[in-house]
């Protein structure tokens, strides 16, 4: 039987918010059984808020959680690390409106959680086990989840940009695969969009230190890509973070085409509403 887990001690991450460009400190605390993931703003002395899909306030450029008088954006990279490492109970406390972007991937979150150590708790872990397919589609974009006794993601993207093009990847999500194959994949953006975003007060902390930047033809980062298909790997990373807002670990195959934060949020909300399509159970190994 699988048991719930948390971190053994407080983990601290320091960096800047990718949109506001302000120094940001995120502390992740161990939490008791059945806490799930909770979010609070230390600068506002807010009460912890459950990090669930119904609390998602915005999905443009990042996943933003809101309610109880505050919002926090760019939560998906930290959630992806926690979800993939099979951590269940954590309190995320940040001193501003964004999680730190760090290097634009999840690897520093993974390493921080691993360095803190994992504490196995005396409470069985319940999974959402998908019994029938659920799909959310908008044009040629779709996100679906179907029965599968594991957690697998099959994803595809198609960009006209010559450095990206069409990319596909299918991968079983577990701690090892996520750390070695997904967590290092960075977020990406286009140079032509930077001026527009900054005029809107966004991307003020973005740079080639924390994102893949592309002009009309190529990747501008001097070091190049970490994977030849780093773009689809980052989309999978985001999906691992966004599905964590379900509130419990899932057993199913997630299939995505051109899906971003918005479609993922709609899929999770649909999954919540169609309780007949899944069952909640502990798994015995």
What residues are annotated to the active site? Answer: 261
Please compute Rg for the chain using Cα positions.
Answer: 18
Tokens 């407080």 found at: 10
Q: Which is it for strands 23-30 and 11-16: parallel, antiparallel or unpaired?
A: antiparallel
Helix/strand/coil (H, E, C) string of 198-267?
Answer: HHCCCCCCCCCCCCEEECCCCECCCCCCCCCCHHHHHHHHHHHHHHHHHCCCEEEEEEEECCCHHHHHHH
Angle between helices 76-84 and 230-243 (to 10 degrees): 80
* Spatial distance between the Cα atoms of 11 and 78, rounded to a whole number of angstroms: 12
Beta-carbon count within 10 A of 167 CB: 18
Instruction: Tokens 């450029």: give the residue.
Output: 61
């Amino acid at each position: 039987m699988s048991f719930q887990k948390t971190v053994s001690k407080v983990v601290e991450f320091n960096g800047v918010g990718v949109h506001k460009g302000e120094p940001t400190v995120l502390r992740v605390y161990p939490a008791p059984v059945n806490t799930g993931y909770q979010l609070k703003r230390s600068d506002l002395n807010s009460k912890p808020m459950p990090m669930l899909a119904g609390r998602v306030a915005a999905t443009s450029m990042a996943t933003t959680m809101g309610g109880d008088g505050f919002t926090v954006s760019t939560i998906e990279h930290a959630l992806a690390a926690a979800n993939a490492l099979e951590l269940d109970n954590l309190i995320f406390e940040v001193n501003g409106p964004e999680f730190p972007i760090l290097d634009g991937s999840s690897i520093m979150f993974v390493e921080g959680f691993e360095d803190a150590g994992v504490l196995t708790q005396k409470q069985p872990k319940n999974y959402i086990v998908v019994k029938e397919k659920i799909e959310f589609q908008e044009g040629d974009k779709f996100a679906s989840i179907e029965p599968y006794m594991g957690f697998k993601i099959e994803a595809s993207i198609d960009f006209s940009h010559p450095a990206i093009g069409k990319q596909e990847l299918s991968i079983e999500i577990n701690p090892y695969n996520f750390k070695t194959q997904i967590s290092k994949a960075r977020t990406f953006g286009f140079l032509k969009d930077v001026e527009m975003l900054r005029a809107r007060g966004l991307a003020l902390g973005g740079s080639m230190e924390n994102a893949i930047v592309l002009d009309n033809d190529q990747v501008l980062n001097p070091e190049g890509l970490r994977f030849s298909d780093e773009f689809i790997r980052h989309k999978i990373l985001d999906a691992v973070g966004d599905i964590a807002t379900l509130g419990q670990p899932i057993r199913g195959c997630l299939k995505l085409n051109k899906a971003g934060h918005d479609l993922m949020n709609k899929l999770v909300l649909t999954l919540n509403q169609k309780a007949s399509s899944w069952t909640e159970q502990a798994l015995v190994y």
